[in-house]
Amino acid sequence: MSKLKKALLAMAVSATVHSAAVVAAPVPAASVNTEATRPNVIIIYVDDMGWGDVGYHGYKDIKTPNIDALAEEGTWFSQAYVSASICGPSRAGMITGVHQQRFGIYGNFNENHIPSSQPLAMEMMKDIGYQTAVIGKWHLGELTGLPNERGADFFYGFLDGSHDYFKSTTNPDAHMRFAPIYRDTEMEPPIQQSNGYLTELFTDEAIDFIDEAVKSEDPFFMYLAHFAVHHPWQVPESYVERLKDLPVAEGVAGEERRHFAGMALALDDGIGEVMDSLKHHGIDDNTIVFFMSDNGTPRGQGFAQPVQKQRGETTMSSPGPFNGFKGDTYEGGIRVPFVARWPGKIPAGQEYKQMVSSMDILPTIAAAAGTAPWSGATPFDGKDLMPYLKGEMGADGPHETMYWRRDDDYAIRDGDWKLTWNSQSGPQTIRLFNIENDPGEWDDLVSKHPEKAQELQNKFDAWEATLPVNKLSYKPQNRNMGFYAGEITDVKEYNKKASGR
């Protein structure tokens, strides 16, 4: 945003809320803040933030006070999973509430492969009268199915999977790092012209949207898809300076963690500003806020060209106690920070311990907003979390079994057991873990419990054999599409061959 436009907007905003500035209590906006009206919804879906990158998980070498406050004022989830271990398919699953593989999506994609018969969150909410915004990284197809075509009244951000934090162009053919920033379908002036930093720009746009949205009687839905804390490792020095006392390791590794923590601090500041905005407008109690990361810690880290890390070697983002990285179906790739906050409705300060999924967000907001069921579209794989969070379901969690397939990698979690195969981390054998006893996936039990491993493999194949083929050019290996014709993936035989390779 230009400085002039920013100044004009600030004047307009201050004129609108002038009375709020001189009295202590916040001013309720229009009629959106009454118990009877539908809640506003904000989904903050951040990028590549690992388990060990939030303070409320117990980490001291990162500073996220505003994210921690969300966890204190809401419910946080100690077993929250995304539907994919990388950006594009993870977003496709979250934004539909459906396993993205049902649309033929097994990896990142350039064409929007989610059929128009399947509403994205923005379409679902717009259809029932919500004002809708998408701010940040799109990555749901940069060639077709752009945000404004998929339910966003307002879009500000970039379309690809990655971007520079300080620079953009006005060349519509540029892709990835220096691609244009769009305001709806129009290109913005290069952000370096106003010394912009992408994380701050997204925060500013989010607050501007809220300021405008509260003038209407209609509730709003905002998908705030922050690019932080994804590579490239760029952050204004001022954030890093605020962290000079952060307890990090000596040497380069510590300085890399401090630098990364600066990126997280900019993100956290922005989340704090959004929450302050809700309070300022008096809509804090009538807004559901979700905070989640789209996948776990990336393998490539370091100031220079990313260096591929192995288990225990991280210096920037941290997977905490977990094995594996972004891209893997180990816990480090798919188990992520997740918080849901809705004062008076979702219990505050609660740790919810059962398995939940990113795909649960859509059914939860659909129920909260009172949408009609969608006819003709694929049913949700996610569940409405509210009855579970309110303790109405006893010991039952929303999911007894969960499935993952991302390119070649796959996994199934069935109760405490998890069967997994990965191409990049560890041996390329089928592995079995007990996540309750061994969340770090250290102790492969596949030889000790062969019957359990086979049971899970069959259950996984039974699920996967019902799914369509990959719409992307790549054909994942290890797919047993003949399961219903009697073909069995023999785990013992597979591992014998894989070990001999």
CB of 328 to Ca ion, least distance (A): 13
C-alpha dist (Å) from residue 64 to 52, 224, 275 = 11, 17, 14
CB of 231 to Ca ion, least distance (A): 10
As measured in angstroms, the least distance from the Cβ of 234 to Ca ion is 16
Q: CA geometry: angle at 19 spanning 13 and 23, to 5°? A: 125
The verdict on 328 binding Ca ion (CB under 5 A) reads no
Closer of 33 and 96 to Ca ion (Cβ): 96
- Which is closer to Ca ion, CB of 45 or CB of 130? 45
The window from 86-94, 139-147, 271-279, 485-493 that contacts Ca ion (CB under 5 A) reads 86-94
**Site size for Ca ion (CB under 5 A):** 5
| One character per residue 255-294, x = contact with Ca ion (rule: CB under 5 A) | ---------------------------------------x
Considering beta carbons, is residue 121 or 228 the nearer one to Ca ion? 228
- Closest to Ca ion by CB, 48 vs 381, is 48
Q: How far is the CB of 87 from Ca ion (least distance, A)?
A: 4
Nearer to Ca ion, 81 or 388 (CB): 81
Contact call for residues 91 and 113 (beta carbons, < 8 A): no
The rounded distance, in Å, linking the Cα atoms of 235 and 195 is 12
Q: How far is the CB of 458 from Ca ion (least distance, A)?
A: 31
Report which residue type is found at 133: A
Find out whether 356 and 81 touch, Cβ atoms under 8 Å.
Answer: yes
Distances (CA, A) of 367 to 275, 344, 370, 386, 483: 23, 17, 5, 9, 36
Q: Which is nearer to Ca ion, 327 or 363 (CB)?
A: 327
Q: Which is nearer to Ca ion, 47 or 123 (CB)?
A: 47
**Residue number with CB closer to Ca ion (295 or 314):** 295
Structure tokens at 249: 């390791």
Q: How far is the CB of 108 from Ca ion (least distance, A)?
A: 10
* Nearest approach, Cβ of residue 168 and Ca ion (Å): 19
> What CA–CA distance (Å, rounded) separates 76 from 341?
9
Q: How far is the CB of 47 from Ca ion (least distance, A)?
A: 4
Listed residue (467, 435, 466) closest to 452, CA to CA: 435
Residue (257 or 406) nearer to Ca ion, CB: 406
| Secondary element (H or E) of residue 222 | strand 220-225
Q: Give the start-end residues of each E strand in 123-202.
A: 131-137, 154-158, 182-183, 186-187
- Amino acid, single-letter form, for residue 268: D
Q: Shortest gap between Cβ of 53 and Ca ion (angstroms)?
A: 12
The token pair that represents 65 in the structure block? 């006070």
Does 142 interact with Ca ion (rule: CB under 5 A)? no
CB of 417 to Ca ion, least distance (A): 27
What does the chain come to in residues? 501
Does residue 172 contact residue 150 with C-beta atoms inside 8 Å?
Answer: no
Q: Closest separation between CB of residue 84 and Ca ion, Å?
A: 9
Query: Any contact of residue 295 with Ca ion (CB under 5 A)?
Result: yes
Structure-block tokens of residue 112: 């929007």
- Cβ 88 to Ca ion shortest distance, Å: 9
292 versus 491: smaller Cβ distance to Ca ion:
292
**Cα dist from 228 to 225, 414, 444, whole Å:** 9, 32, 34
Neighbours of 304 (CB within 10 A): 6
Q: Left if phi > 0, otherwise alpha if psi is -120 to 50, otherwise beta: which for 430?
A: beta
Q: Which is nearer to Ca ion, 235 or 432 (CB)?
A: 235
Q: Which of 32, 67, 70, 87 binds Ca ion (CB under 5 A)?
A: 87
Residue with the closest Cβ to Ca ion? 87
Question: Would you say 416 and 435 are in contact if contact means Cβ atoms under 8 Å apart?
Answer: yes
Determine the Cα–Cα distance for residues 328 and 324; give it in Å rounded to an integer.
Answer: 6
Residues 369-398, interacting with Ca ion (CB under 5 A): none
Amino acid (1-letter code) at residue 9: L
21 to 50: interface string for Ca ion, x by CB under 5 A? --------------------------xx--
d(CA 237, CA 248): 17
Compare residues 106 and 220 and give the one whose CB is closer to Ca ion: 106
Strands 40-46 and 287-293: parallel
Interacting span for Ca ion (CB under 5 A) from 87-95, 191-199, 278-286, 405-413: 87-95
The token duo for 316 is 């920037």
The footprint of Ca ion on residues 47-66 (CB under 5 A) is 47-48
The footprint of Ca ion (CB under 5 A) covers 47-48, 87, 294-295
